[in-house]
Amino acid sequence: MKDLESLSASQAARALARREIKATDLLLSCLDRIGHRESLVKAWSSLGKENALARARELDKGSIKGILHGLPIGVKDLFDTYDLPTSYGSPIYANNYPASDAVSVALMRQAGGIILGKTISTEFATFKPPVTHNPHHLKHTPGGSSSGSAAAVADFMVPLATGSQTAGSIIRPASYCGVVGYKPSFGKVMLAGVKALSPSLDTLGCFGRSVGDVALGVAAMSNDLSLAEIDQLHNKPRVAICKTKDWSFASKETAGALALARFTAEAIAKGMVQDISLPAACKDLTLLQTRIMSFEMARALIFERMRFSKKLSPQLSQQLSEGVQIPYEQYQKDLMKAQAARFAIAQLFENEVDFLIAPSAPGEAPLAKEGTGNPVFCRGWTLSGLPCINLNVSSGPNGLPVGVQLIAGPGKDRFLLSAARAFAQALPDAVLRDQA
Amino acid sequence: MKDLESLSASQAARALARREIKATDLLLSCLDRIGHRESLVKAWSSLGKENALARARELDKGSIKGILHGLPIGVKDLFDTYDLPTSYGSPIYANNYPASDAVSVALMRQAGGIILGKTISTEFATFKPPVTHNPHHLKHTPGGSSSGSAAAVADFMVPLATGSQTAGSIIRPASYCGVVGYKPSFGKVMLAGVKALSPSLDTLGCFGRSVGDVALGVAAMSNDLSLAEIDQLHNKPRVAICKTKDWSFASKETAGALALARFTAEAIAKGMVQDISLPAACKDLTLLQTRIMSFEMARALIFERMRFSKKLSPQLSQQLSEGVQIPYEQYQKDLMKAQAARFAIAQLFENEVDFLIAPSAPGEAPLAKEGTGNPVFCRGWTLSGLPCINLNVSSGPNGLPVGVQLIAGPGKDRFLLSAARAFAQALPDAVLRDQA
């Protein structure tokens, strides 16, 4: 019964379903780990210890409730929870107790998950650096905006935690913290009950320490339980590397990670793993995502701008003021271009490739004082609505993790999970293969 | 200063902007009307009289804030408001005070609108008959789910009120109450802060007594201020009548309304107004909408099902139990068929027609004891995401109003408003022309 907190979510879920371990013991192990580490890492905005223990005892006595039976879960503090305060990372909502759970949270509870606490989000899931530290090196950022979720999972405080991505808020912190992050297809998980930032882009997903973990998490969050069963890859997939138009932002360690990923993919791919460029309709993806997000967040946060402008950070206030200036006509044009780009990408996946490998971040996690890192390598993929999974493949000059993201065609989440598992199994390092 | 409550929203907005009338006087007229009529009509779930009066006094003293400056507004009780209770039409949320406004409500306030109160919604915007009466004949339903908003606008209690449509919750009550209802293109108004029922379908819009009114309302709610200026029709549009596959549900009065609409449209149309059928890809639109809604609402209301099942109406509980049974795979197939249908409809509008005229409801408002009426003539158009406007064109055997809906291509909201105004101006009856 020792070290239960080091079990991955899928290992723990299996042991819980077979009654080999108790939900109470797993929870106590996680709480013990949090007790030792939280003062350093600062991943949590609140913990619901008593409620979680009561729920664990109930689950240990009753029947198996679902695929997350007895699993402790961290919920990004952007998701409403009826029994825990929900601040959206802002002092405006310091005392906010929502009347209900976000749909995705309620679905995780229905599947037997135990909401252990809320993990720290940046201010409304934007860019102001949070108090959370990268557990691998405390002076570095865990990334954002799902800072606490990525750090808590990386630090073995909890096996599974939710996240949201509007620019790069799942894939980037997953890369910085060396965990598996899964941003499913746009619309896969209902947004209701999660604070809106940019509704054309906001996408919910989760963090775990293996592909099986994030499959479990999104299966429960979306109620698509078929995702929890990862198929073997039946055929060798067509794989390509996509450095993207933003390649100039990539550091040496990101270039190295991509080279290693290419080498790894060659073991499972059909034919050569070649470089690919996105179709011409996609040339402005990063710019379009940035401007659409800017436009929408200035409207989505209108209530806070009108009533609590002094409680917004100067950085966010500035961004919102810029967003307000974007004319509606520009926004409409951008949405139409985005739709054309999505269509072109769908054709690419139809005709040329089964999955892409692309950088997750410019490099290893920067120093915390420099911010939460640049989401440039995620913006376009978020706008495209494609499912993405970050896997840890190497490390940077400070020994911090560096990941790559695997990207499949629109709606091809089940295939992506299969491909990610096969890819992880092919990684040259035994420790990294644990991510499978 | 008499009868200010009978001004349409656009008439009042113009007079307010010119300081010809005071926001305070308009508000007092509306409150007076509510005082006389509310015990009979029961349109309101709460009124914020003091806050509204305070805001009206402020607006009368200050500069012109925006396109809704000084206009009293009813907000469907499905939309969050920070200063008024928000029940979503359910006893579960009888004492719910949200921490913030829905985005669309905050945008209306920013434009100078005064939130006068919350209008009655059916239970979570579904089908349980509400306490609200049709102001034209109290034994009849106002329709649903935006029951209070349609009734309040029809009864001159307020010039403008918000609504939401998932099946037929704007167009149908607008037809039953004889007001102008506008369901804009899907996604035009941000959903954030409105209780989710079926996120692939939920669409926000408003009710007024003229095309100009609903244009003002959605211009503010979406922040697309260009909608507030309705262009003249430059060219004669291609118009067609679409009876839909569900024509067997139409009563004689609906057939009559459509005949009158055809006659009216001939005055403004390019060439003959002919009958049109939707492409083959659209044959199951109504079924697809019904099943997608059923699937999604069973997930969207999971929190309420898990924790407050006894406070759900038996009717809704039954619907949710049915929705839970729909497999995820079926839902995914339905979404793909819906997408194909949307594409085919977009082609139809591209190549053959500028706007369609279709029934808004099977007939005049049924007796309240029979329910809120059948949304069958709206389901497919909601799923298609097209902008729709109900206009009152005739009446039924009990003298109750009967409308038709004008429908334009995807995103063609500005054109639809121009067409609806031209259509209303061409109506044979001077009273009905007031809707222009």
* ipTM field: 0.97
- The stretch A364-379 carries a mean pLDDT of 97
What is residue A234's predicted lDDT score, i.e. its pLDDT? 86
| A67 contact residues in B (CB cutoff 8 A) | none
What is residue A183's predicted lDDT score, i.e. its pLDDT? 98
Q: Residues of B numbered 245-304 whose beta carbons fall under 8 angstroms of chain A's beta carbons: which are they? A: 296, 299-300, 302-304
CA B145 to chain centre: 9
- Residue range B310-336, pLDDT digits in tens: 999 999 999 999 999 999 999 999 999
Query: Chain A to chain B, count of Cβ pairs less than 8 Å apart?
Result: 89
What chain B residue is nearest to A327 in terms of C-alpha separation? Answer: B224
Chain B touched by A96 (CB under 8 Å): yes
CA distance B396 to B251: 9
CA distance A149 to A363: 20
Q: A277 to chain B, minimum CA–CA distance in Å?
A: 27
CA distance A313 to B212: 39
Q: B90 to chain A, minimum CA–CA distance in Å?
A: 13
For residue B159, the 8-state DSSP code is S
What is residue A2's predicted lDDT score, i.e. its pLDDT? 57
pLDDT at A1 over 60: no
What chain A residue is nearest to B107 in terms of C-alpha separation? Answer: A302
What is residue B1's predicted lDDT score, i.e. its pLDDT? 47
What is residue B175's predicted lDDT score, i.e. its pLDDT? 98
- The stretch B335-356 carries a mean pLDDT of 97
What is residue B329's predicted lDDT score, i.e. its pLDDT? 97
What is residue A195's predicted lDDT score, i.e. its pLDDT? 98
Q: Tell me phi and psi for residue A403, to 5 degrees.
A: -110, 175
- The stretch B188-194 carries a mean pLDDT of 98
Q: Do B109 and A296 touch (CB under 8 A)?
A: no
State pTM to two decimals: 0.98
What chain B residue is nearest to A412 in terms of C-alpha separation? Answer: B332
Q: Do B302 and A106 touch (CB under 8 A)?
A: yes
- Residues 6 or more apart in contact with residue B339 via CB below 8 angstroms: none
| A87 assigned to active site | no
Cα–Cα distances in angstroms (integers) from residue A132 to residues A79, A378, B384, in the given order: 18, 21, 44
- The stretch B279-289 carries a mean pLDDT of 97
Q: Do B106 and A303 touch (CB under 8 A)?
A: yes
What is residue A6's predicted lDDT score, i.e. its pLDDT? 96
CB A423 within 8 Å of CB A211: no
| B58 contact residues in A (CB cutoff 8 A) | none
- The stretch A99-109 carries a mean pLDDT of 98
Catalytic residue among A145, A146, A185, A418: A145
Which of B106, B187, B300 comes nearest A190 by C-beta? B300
- Residues 6 or more apart in contact with residue B49 via CB below 8 angstroms: B31, B116, B117
| A103 contact residues in B (CB cutoff 8 A) | 196, 299-300, 302-303
CB A228 within 8 Å of CB A9: no
Q: Is B269 helix (H, G, I), strand (E, B) or coil?
A: coil
What is residue B61's predicted lDDT score, i.e. its pLDDT? 97
Chain A touched by B113 (CB under 8 Å): no
CB B382 within 8 Å of CB B168: yes
Which of A82, A302, A329 comes nearest B106 by C-beta? A302
Task: State what percent of residues in chain B have pLDDT above 70.
Answer: 100
Catalytic residue among A76, A118, A183, A195: A76
pLDDT at A411 over 60: yes
Handedness of CA B108, B113, B118, B121 (dihedral sign): negative
Mutate to test the interface with B, among A79, A303, A342, A413 (most CBs of B within 10 A): A303
What is residue A90's predicted lDDT score, i.e. its pLDDT? 98
Catalytic residues of B, which ones?
76, 145, 169
- Residue range B77-128, pLDDT digits in tens: 999 999 999 999 999 999 999 999 999 999 999 999 999 999 999 999 999 9
CB B157 within 8 Å of CB B33: yes
Find tokens 């001004």 and name the residue: B7
Helices (H), A165-251: 171-177, 211-222
What chain A residue is nearest to B93 in terms of C-alpha separation? Answer: A99
Chain B touched by A225 (CB under 8 Å): yes
CA distance B261 to A226: 49
Chain B touched by A327 (CB under 8 Å): no
| A112 contact residues in B (CB cutoff 8 A) | none
pLDDT at A427 over 90: yes
CA distance B276 to A112: 51
Catalytic residue among A104, A169, A175, A294: A169
- Residues 6 or more apart in contact with residue B101 via CB below 8 angstroms: A303, B79, B80, B81, B82, B109, B193
| B101 contact residues in A (CB cutoff 8 A) | 303
DSSP string, A69-137: TT-EEEEETTB--TTS---TTSGGGTT---SS--HHHHHHHHTT-EEEEEE---GGGSSS--S--BTTB
Q: Do A196 and B196 touch (CB under 8 A)?
A: no
Closest CA to B270 of B151, B355, B195: B355
| A418 assigned to active site | no
- Residue range A46-71, pLDDT digits in tens: 999 999 999 999 999 999 999 999 99
CB A154 within 8 Å of CB A341: no
| B332 contact residues in A (CB cutoff 8 A) | 411
CB A162 within 8 Å of CB A74: yes
Q: Do B300 and A196 touch (CB under 8 A)?
A: no
CA distance B47 to B161: 13
Which of B100, B299, B328 comes nearest A103 by C-beta? B299
Closest CA to A43 of A115, A144, A126, A125: A144
Task: State what percent of residues in chain A have pLDDT above 70.
Answer: 100
CB A381 within 8 Å of CB A170: no
pLDDT at A365 over 80: yes
- Residue range B218-267, pLDDT digits in tens: 999 999 999 999 999 989 999 999 999 999 999 999 999 999 999 999 99
Work out the pLDDT band at A332, boundaries 50, 70, 90.
very high
Which of A100, A199, A304 comes nearest B190 by C-beta? A199
Mean pLDDT of chain B: 97
- Residue range B48-62, pLDDT digits in tens: 999 999 999 999 999
| A49 assigned to active site | no
pLDDT at B167 over 80: yes
CA distance A386 to B348: 28
CA distance A141 to A161: 18
Q: A272 to chain B, minimum CA–CA distance in Å?
A: 32
Work out the pLDDT band at A168, boundaries 50, 70, 90.
very high
CB A397 within 8 Å of CB A136: no
Q: Which domains does chain B have, with CATH numbers?
A: 1-436 (3.90.1300.10)
CA distance B322 to B294: 7
Handedness of CA B272, B423, B190, B132 (dihedral sign): negative
| B96 contact residues in A (CB cutoff 8 A) | 99
Q: Do A192 and B196 touch (CB under 8 A)?
A: yes
Q: A432 to chain B, minimum CA–CA distance in Å?
A: 33
Mean pLDDT of chain A: 97
The one-letter amino acid code at B165 reads Q
What is residue B70's predicted lDDT score, i.e. its pLDDT? 98
Sheet holding B180-183, edge to edge: B44-47, B114-119, B72-76, B160-165, B203-208, B180-183, B388-395, B401-408, B355-359, B239-241, B274-275
- Residues 6 or more apart in contact with residue B72 via CB below 8 angstroms: B26, B27, B30, B52, B56, B113, B114, B116, B158, B159, B160
